[in-house]
Chain A
């Protein structure tokens, strides 16, 4: 797979790999997404807008230039804006891949970091020399202004041009609480939301402070995802109950939605409305209690996003999907192609797939006339 190098949220040629409940795989155009939606389904997306979470500055004690990437916050309340978890990098910028970035200077609790107009104190070192808790000085208004004016979107070395803030906001972006874009939502525009509703499905949102997806540091990446604050509106929780009652599927747009919903239902399977912090990590051993299907990006084995896919489908199916994505040169990362994966189990009254069926032939021609042929060989 190749990284998508252009920051276009809805490239006209975007593709969508579909893995159904029995593990069969077909290639579609991403604009065909509404056709996958059935009457009674509930689509849930993350409406977090993306903060410009990369802050450059100076570590006062050593005079060293550093970059802090904000990565977590304990609450989404507007006034709780002073304390963040952050990942620190030494000198350099996004043009250097993160895995080659030098370590920041050795931090001592109480050190000051000047980030443009924002003065910050290091409060904790969180088990890794790059991972710290920082506290901004000043009023909430001053902090919001400093973040909005001095912050830059977290950048990716594979992109040909630096990202502007608007590149990182989905169409449905609401409160600016995500640290990296909830990029599965890039497929949404208002017309698509309309057409999903026209098919008799419902559209709802939650807000999840999507944290950092990768730092390039293996030991730190193994700690991801960090705890992430989220909030589920009462109406969304109600819509989930209603969808279940009519045997509609819950379709998550993005891994952050899966994490929030499953975390909120971890106690007894009921999605609780309100604010919370997701600590649940989803992987092959997770029993999904809420989400029936997921539309997400193309993820590579070894990432926390790929681990989450293992809760939906057998490793053999995912491996075949990965091989097929390689063969067909699917594009990965934030602005890449998409994957629609249905949970391999009973849903909508359909019989559970057996593992034999799940290993069905991937090359079998799809019956859909609108299938996009994979052209590369």
Chain B
């Protein structure tokens, strides 16, 4: 289904060269959105850039504090503003997965740096832009990709689950606080997907039982469309 409502929408996606992120880039580019995607490895960014020449590829690591503003500059420079930010880049923490009692502190830190601090820092750097979008009549949205591991205490998923729980709660608080600026923040659990991340976590999984990233991306796109759709009511209060 083509989403005419996404045409020209300025959307940034972290972790945009594999799994759900890549599937989102594909769907959103095809829907006519103006897309910037961020990933750590230049080779991956160049590969996806060749596939989707209209999309803006940015090399950067959201888990690194010093990379946030270079990413934000390139993203805002290329898009000229921002309507939707998808914080999708994720880290499992220890690979292979480990019991929390066996998890090295550094692995826990890496999970939190990628899954909590990165989205916090990048969102914060982009809040001015998102608020400007709201003042100009747009409906800015931050989508944080969460997991059922944020809710259910699965053994072996401690670093990932705890950091995704923090991200989900951060999303709720931010959503409440930023309502005054007209910025919405949601977290969404896309379900168990057949992605490189899942393969790292569960190498011997039965892949036939997993959702395809494209299907999950379709659901995220539906969510974006539903959230940014302007109801007569929201239009009247502007």
Contacts and interface: CB of A to CB of B under 8 A. Distances in A.
B70 A174 contact: no
B184 to A, nearest CB: 15
Nearest to B71: A148
Interface stretch (B78-86, B108-116, B150-158, B204-212): B78-86
B74 A174 contact: no
A47 interface: yes
B23 to A, nearest CB: 22
Interface string A55-88: 0000000000000000000001110010000000
- What is the interface of chain B mostly: helix, strand, loop, or mixed? helix
Interface residues of A, number: 35
Interface in A163-215: 164-166, 169-176, 190, 193-194, 197, 204-205
Interface stretch (A129-137, A138-146, A337-345): A138-146
Interface string B170-182: 0000000100110
B128 A148 contact: no
A47 B135 CA distance: 12
A43 interface: no
Contacts of B224: none
B186 to A, nearest CB: 19
B102 interface: no
Nearest to A51: B73
A173 B129 contact: yes
B132 A172 contact: yes
A233 interface: yes
Q: Which of A170, A176, A235 has the most chain B CB atoms closer than 10 A to its own CB?
A: A176
A204 B135 contact: yes
Contacts, number: 85
Interface residues of B, number: 29
A271 B125 CA distance: 30
Contacts of B57: 141
Interface in B209-234: none
B78 A147 contact: no
B198 interface: no
Contacts of A194: 180
A166 B125 CA distance: 8
A193 B181 CA distance: 9
Interface string B59-87: 10000000011111110111111000000
Contacts of B78: 78, 140-141, 144
A95 interface: no
Contacts of A205: 132, 135
Nearest to B130: A174
Contact of A149 (B70, B127, B137): B70
Nearest to A150: B70
Interface in A37-55: 47, 49, 51-52
Contacts of A149: 70
Nearest to B133: A174
B165 interface: no
B164 interface: no
A170 B128 contact: yes
Contacts of A235: 135-137
Interface in B181-212: 181
A77 B77 CA distance: 9
Contacts of A233: 135-136
Interface of B: 56-59, 68-74, 76-81, 125, 127-129, 131-132, 135-137, 177, 180-181
8 contacts: A78-B79, A81-B77, A164-B69, A174-B76, A176-B73, A176-B76, A190-B181, A233-B136
Interface of A: 47, 49, 51-52, 76-78, 81, 140-141, 144-145, 147-149, 164-166, 169-176, 190, 193-194, 197, 204-205, 233-235
